[in-house]
């Protein structure tokens, strides 16, 4: 299964961003995005690429559901 993880942009470079969620940071390429990305924006990160911009509400809801699913896995 492949997952795209919503992450908040904390630094923007020429062709990459540094994004963070729950204290985990990663660098992601912007080569797949045509729209500009700014600090504070949320992006969907998969395999080292920012593959989509998403709004904050959608990011928070997706993260809530992912946390819930992963918590359920630990109790199985």
pLDDT at residue 71, as a whole number: 83
Strands 42-46 and 24-29: unpaired
Look-up of token digits 């990305």: 37
- Taking the C-alpha atoms of residue 50 and residue 37, their distance in angstroms, rounded to an integer, is 10
With a cut of 90, say whether residue 76 has pLDDT above it: no
With a cut of 70, say whether residue 63 has pLDDT above it: yes
Percent of the chain with pLDDT over 70: 91
pTM of the model: 0.85
pLDDT, tens digit (0-9, with 9 covering 90-100), for 16-46 = 999 999 899 999 999 999 989 999 999 999 9
In degrees and rounded to multiples of 5, residue 30 shows phi and psi of -100, 5
Domain boundaries, the chain: 5-74
Report the DSSP beta bridge partners of residue 29: 16, 49
54, 44 in Cβ contact below 8 A?
yes
Top-level CATH class of 5-74? mainly beta
**What average pLDDT does the segment 59-72 reach?**
87
């Amino acid at each position: 299964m492949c997952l795209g993880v919503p992450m908040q942009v904390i630094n923007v470079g020429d062709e990459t961003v540094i994004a963070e969620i729950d204290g985990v940071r990663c660098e992601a390429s912007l080569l797949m995005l045509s729209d500009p990305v700014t600090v504070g924006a949320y992006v969907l990160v998969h395999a080292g690429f920012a593959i989509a911009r998403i709004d904050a509400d959608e990011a928070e809801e997706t993260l809530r559901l992912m946390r819930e699913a992963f918590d359920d896995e630990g109790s199985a």
